[in-house]
């Protein structure tokens, strides 16, 4: 298993999401990459930037936990 942060028992990722009608989609940056972060602070900072240009309730930060690594 990959060691992301030393002694981190439960690694997680944070995604900046935007509401698209009835569903939530991961927001992409200008180069088309999904906005997924290892740090909550970084994800919150990006979400605050997006809220300045969009309605506040259409942007959220979602946490993804995982306990196993999938290798494809």
**Coil/strand/helix, residue 48:** helix
5 belongs to a structural domain: no
For the stretch 13-53, pLDDT in tens is: 889 999 988 899 988 877 888 888 888 899 999 999 888 88
17 belongs to a structural domain: yes
Q: Greater confidence, 66 or 37?
A: 37
* Residue 59 main-chain phi, psi, to 5 deg: -120, 135
61 belongs to a structural domain: yes
49 belongs to a structural domain: yes
Q: Domain span at residue 60? A: 12-65
Number of domains comprising the chain: 1
User: Could you give the C-alpha distances from 69 to 5, 23, 34, 65, in angstroms and in order?
Assistant: 14, 27, 19, 11
42 belongs to a structural domain: yes
pTM given for the model: 0.70
19 belongs to a structural domain: yes
| pLDDT over 50 at 1, yes or no | no
């Amino acid at each position: 298993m990959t060691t992301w942060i030393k002694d981190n028992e439960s690694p997680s990722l944070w995604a900046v999401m935007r509401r698209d009608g009835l569903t939530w989609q991961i927001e992409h940056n200008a180069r088309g990459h999904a906005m997924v972060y290892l740090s909550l602070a970084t994800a919150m900072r990006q979400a605050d930037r997006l809220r300045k240009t969009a309605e506040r309730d259409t942007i959220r930060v979602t946490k993804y936990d995982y306990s196993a690594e999938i290798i494809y």
